[in-house]
Chains A and B, each alone.
Chain A
Amino acid sequence: MKIISRYLSRSAIFMLFMVGLMAPAGSAPLEQLKITGFVSAADWEAYRTRFIDDSGRVIDNANGNISHSEGQGYGLLLAFAASDRLTFEKIWTFTYTEFLIRDDGLAVWKWDPSATPHVTDRNNATDGDILIAYALAKAGVGWQDQRYTQAAQKLAKAIGKAAIVKNSGFPFLLPGVKGFTQTDRPDGPVVNLSYWIFEAFPVLATLAPEYDWSAVWREGIVLLQQATASRTHLPADWMSIRNRTQPRTAEGFDPEFGYNSLRIPLYLLRAGMADMEWLKTLKQRWITDQEGVAVVNVVTGEIRERLTDQGYMALPAALACALDGTKVPESLKVFEPQFYYPASLYLLSLSLIGEKYPQCL
């Protein structure tokens, strides 16, 4: 698979994706992650006890202890990865009762324990919706629970209906239903490429086949390539795609490759796209040039902040492992979670390595 995929062009990836969708039992070039079983009990215990309370709320402890749909989605996915059905059920119950209340079937994105009512922004965040739907779909199959599958399907259809829209005829993901379209803002549509959780699309496509998830996948890759054609080869977190062939930093946002975008390589690797040329470029930057994971101005290349938490360090480790078979450094082998976000990235990175590149461990 690696030999084939190294030479794949974008369109070939798409074709393989389609083959993967239509003939899952065949050559399966972009094999789905199993996920479950690749987060150790000890690592999960460390994560769960720090970031998930008894009600099933995933707590962003670097962010005023709020919760959000992304966190609930990561929590569900990682609970499934840790085969912790009990915690999965808790998180799901909380997500269902507190987040999945929108008229359009999507999740509200922001929940604040100190606010009344707790929902402080009832817009959705499409990556959160995708993560929740994806985790539910995996768990529904993995644990043979129709409730999860049905909820996943409902949510997948809601995402397809409300968050997939077209720009110049090409379907893409709205980051949120409100505030990002062409009519909502002068530079709209605005996208966030880290909301493309590629690995979820084939799964959601089986649940809501009436939406063109493969075209969304394709558009994500196109936009990423356009956005990384610049001097720094880095996409900004929030980009205007009013001119879809020339994405540019959206009005009101810093031209930064930041906390959002640094997940993109992880999502590409998890979706089996280790052959993307851009990953090599990024590896050059992160590892060969020893820049490490950093918040970078995409115009000037200036570094605003270096990110040294173990969770961020896991991203280049996964990249080096996937591209070169580099061993995971000792410093990453013991999970020492401090903050929700990098801890989530750590478990996603290490579980990927555990499942697909165990030789790096």
Chain B
Amino acid sequence: MPLTRGMMAFLIVGLGFAALAQQSGSPPSPKSDQTGPSPSPPPSPAPARPQVDESALRYFASQGDTRRVDAEIARLRALYPDWTPPADLSQLVGGGAGGPVSDPEADRLWGLYTENRFSEARAAIAARQSADPQWKPPPDLVAALDVSEARRRLVNASDNNQWRTVLSIATETPALLTCANVDSLWRVAEAFAKTNQTNRARDVYTYLLTNCANPAERLGTLQKALTLLDGQQVTDLLRFERKGGDNPDDFSAIRDELARRRVEKASTDAKLTVSADDLAVVERLAEGETEPGNALLLGYYNYHRKNPEKALTWFKTALDRNGGPKAAEGYALALRELNRFVDAEAFAYEWRDKAPENMQVYLDVATALLSQDPPLKLSPNVVARIIPAVTKARFVNGAQALGWYSYNTDQFRTAREWFEVALSWKADDEPSAYGIALASQRLNDRSRFNAITAQWRSRSQRIADLADGISRDRGTPVTTQPIPQPNPVPAAPARPALTATEPPAVPESSPERSRRVEEFRVAAYDRAVLTQERQLQGSRRVVRSGGSARRACTATRDPSGLAPNAALTLGWCLMELNRPMEAVAAFDQAMRLGSPTVREEAAYGKSLAYLRKDLTGEAAVAAAQAPQTATRRTELSAAILAQRALAAYRDGRWVDVILALGERARIVPEQNDLMLLRGWSYFKLGRLNDAEKIFTAVHRTGFSEEASVGLNAIREITGQLHQY
């Protein structure tokens, strides 16, 4: 019989309801006048306690109702801190030693109370009082009714989210706030939490964990806390776990849940880090269950940590556990991240109708599939099934991707239709307009070209440049927009009616001439690459501090422990060895810790390293990481732009070649090798007059053979008879 289990002090104190605590002990107690917590001697046995009405306790004991006996003891303890329960409750049964004489009427009232028939108990009291105004109900019965009614109201109010009512009942009825009423305590805590007083909610849980003994209720307390407090507050509560004793706590499920939540949070926010322990917990949970939830969590966690292989495995597990659309979404994302675009499209296609998110992933994956550079060889039915999805969703990016895909497969009419469609879905979409302009140019459709460029030139520099024929070298920055993607690939049917492959727009000439022209065009590229590399080497030599470092860097080493100057030296050394990505790491280390001079040097080196890897975007970013001298700024900008032009040339993005070179020419004089690239780009764009001007200029200053090939090719096309 759990009669002797530890009883609680007033929660009121623990809660900081201080002002209200005074109301609590309304039933008069001879000892309530005591000031301070001076310990009183243990009360002597039975006869010395007449001041505390134990009639309820006696009644419940006689009924064998241990739950109410416990509750009554708790209540009396709360009301009379100095009181201790009778050593032998059985003495009380039947009005035993020392107890008041049994009153049948009181027993009847207590009986109603015991059966939760509070209304009838109240009614019986009221009826007897009106019949006998002298009669007074047992004060403990009235108090017990007050508490029970308060508990019922508190439950009702809390069930209906009436939190202020819950809190006012709690403050008015401190006797309710004991370990005999853990459910009420939980509800009070919830009311605090729901009224933005989480610290108070935490205090209630703390009280409970400090004072209440039932292990199930203690664990339940933590579970309640999990739903209402933040992770740190719950973690703080774990210190109340009782390790030893008869009923030790086991809060490991709470710890697991906290770990799971941290991983869950991190699974959608790549900036958050979680401990290996937390990850291990969730992996253990995921491995030991048949539900998909934790596997899904781990899938997204790994996906957002650029670990798509692991992500894919977990998403697969989640799928196998009926993880449904969310798992499928993750699986498709992971495939895409693994650059398995064909698989991703095929998988996402199967799930596209399961949820809006799945359709979005399908559209994204399909767009990525179409946008690969160089373009992928796609089966016509894949392209065909993308079209209705893009059309139904009016997905602008998808329509554009179809446009570029068609453009790059020389289906300019189809391409333009897709750009027109994209523009009709999003009227202010510059890339669509740009696509229309380019495609119209390729189709030699002056009227549409003029119309679209006139409409857009004020809003888009690159469209204005297109309209101006670019030759003015306006030198404005190239906006980073989707760019046309080349290479012959199977036809993309834009719409069912438009599946026929179109004839190329550029006039054909004899295969022999074409071959030779092509050779020279490619040779121009190789020459320019060589020149560019030589220039980059030259830059390096100018700034490198000495040649002796070469040997020092042949072995791979981690730069993170190096001093700034050593890291800088290592960086240049690695550049010498043509290991630019390792050099980047070394330069980074130098930049982290170095003086302004070292930082400038390191940023410069890093920028060059990226240029070596043809990563012009990264190079530009690196160049901006530390202030550079004007000379270096110019040098780096020119190199970056030259690299961009080369990349565009290699990819056949002729317009971008011209734009990049135009920008470069604004800051440094243009070399002949790059001028040739510009000439061939004009040529490929069919802008023969511009090409002719360039080739003519080059012809006069060197590279005359290459320039002559270009001029002859133009002549052949235009039928002119000029001889160069």
Chain A contact residues, CB within 8 Å of chain B: 54-56, 85-94, 96-98, 100-103, 108, 117-119, 122, 143
Contacts and interface: CB of A to CB of B under 8 A. Distances in A.
Contacts of B123: 56, 86-87, 89-90, 93
Nearest to A122: B160
Contacts of A56: 119, 123
Contacts of A88: 126
A48 B122 CA distance: 17
Nearest to A120: B160
B130 interface: yes
A97 B149 contact: yes
A117 B149 contact: no
B132 to A, nearest CB: 13
A96 B153 contact: yes
B159 interface: yes
Most chain-A Cβ atoms within 10 A of its Cβ — which of B127, B156, B157, B165? B156
A94 B160 contact: no
A309 B130 CA distance: 36
B684 interface: no
A103 B154 CA distance: 11
Nearest to A57: B119
Interface string B114-137: 000111101111110010000000
A97 B118 contact: yes
B159 A119 contact: yes
Contacts of A87: 123
Contacts of B149: 93, 96-97
5 contacts: A54-B119, A100-B153, A101-B165, A117-B160, A118-B156
Given A103-B162, A119-B159, A86 B126 contact: yes
Nearest to B112: A54
A143 B130 contact: yes
B127 A108 contact: no
B156 A119 contact: yes
Contacts of A143: 130
A67 to B, nearest CB: 13
Contacts of A94: 119
Contacts of B130: 85, 143
Given A54-B117, A90-B119, A97-B152, 12 more contacts: A56-B123, A86-B127, A89-B123, A89-B125, A93-B119, A96-B149, A96-B153, A97-B156, A98-B156, A103-B165, A117-B160, A122-B160
Contacts of A92: 122
Contacts of B159: 117, 119
A319 B294 CA distance: 73
Question: Closest 5 interchain pairs by CB?
Answer: A117-B159, A89-B126, A93-B119, A101-B157, A103-B164
Nearest to A53: B119
Nearest to A100: B153
A117 B124 CA distance: 28
A93 B118 CA distance: 8
Nearest to B129: A85
Nearest to A108: B160
A55 B117 contact: yes
Most chain-B Cβ atoms within 10 A of its Cβ — which of A56, A89, A94, A100? A89
Contacts of B152: 97-98
B258 to A, nearest CB: 31
A89 B165 contact: no
Nearest to B124: A86
B163 interface: yes
A326 B125 CA distance: 43
Contacts of A85: 126-127, 130
Contacts of A90: 119-120, 122-123
Interface residues of B, number: 23
A59 B118 CA distance: 18
A103 B153 contact: no
A87 B124 CA distance: 9
A259 B289 CA distance: 59
A117 B155 CA distance: 10
B167 to A, nearest CB: 9
Contacts of B124: 86
A96 B169 CA distance: 12
A355 B510 CA distance: 120
A82 B125 CA distance: 18
A88 B126 CA distance: 9
Most chain-A Cβ atoms within 10 A of its Cβ — which of B124, B157, B164? B157
A305 B483 CA distance: 76
Interface in B98-123: 117-120, 122-123
B122 A102 contact: no
B224 to A, nearest CB: 18
B119 A102 contact: no
B153 A102 contact: no
A74 B119 CA distance: 18
B647 to A, nearest CB: 61
A87 B120 CA distance: 9
Contacts of B118: 93, 97
B122 A101 contact: no
Contacts of B127: 85-86, 89
B195 to A, nearest CB: 10
Nearest to A56: B119
A9 B130 CA distance: 44
B119 A101 contact: no
A90 B130 CA distance: 15
A69 to B, nearest CB: 14
Contacts of A108: 160
Contacts of A101: 153, 156-157, 160, 162, 165
Interface string B146-186: 00010011001101111111000000000000000000000
Contacts of B125: 89
Contacts of A100: 153
A100 B160 CA distance: 11
Contacts of B117: 54-55
A138 to B, nearest CB: 16
Contact of B119 (A55, A118, A119): A55
A345 to B, nearest CB: 25
A119 B126 contact: no
A87 B126 CA distance: 9
Contacts of A91: 119
Interface string B632-665: 0000000000000000000000000000000000
A341 B123 CA distance: 24
Contacts of B156: 97-98, 101, 117-119
A85 B133 CA distance: 13
Contact of B122 (A89, A98, A117, A122): A89
A106 to B, nearest CB: 10
Nearest to A117: B159
B391 to A, nearest CB: 39
Most chain-A Cβ atoms within 10 A of its Cβ — which of B117, B119, B122? B119
A331 to B, nearest CB: 34
A54 B153 contact: no
A361 B120 CA distance: 35
Contacts of B161: 122
B123 to A, nearest CB: 4
B703 to A, nearest CB: 79
B142 to A, nearest CB: 11
B109 to A, nearest CB: 13
B156 to A, nearest CB: 5
A85 B165 CA distance: 28
Nearest to B167: A103
B160 A89 contact: no
A157 to B, nearest CB: 14
Nearest to A54: B120
A88 B164 CA distance: 28
A249 to B, nearest CB: 32
B122 A119 contact: no
Contacts of B122: 89-90, 92-93
B205 to A, nearest CB: 23
Given A55-B117, A55-B119, A97-B153, A102 B162 contact: yes
B162 A122 contact: yes
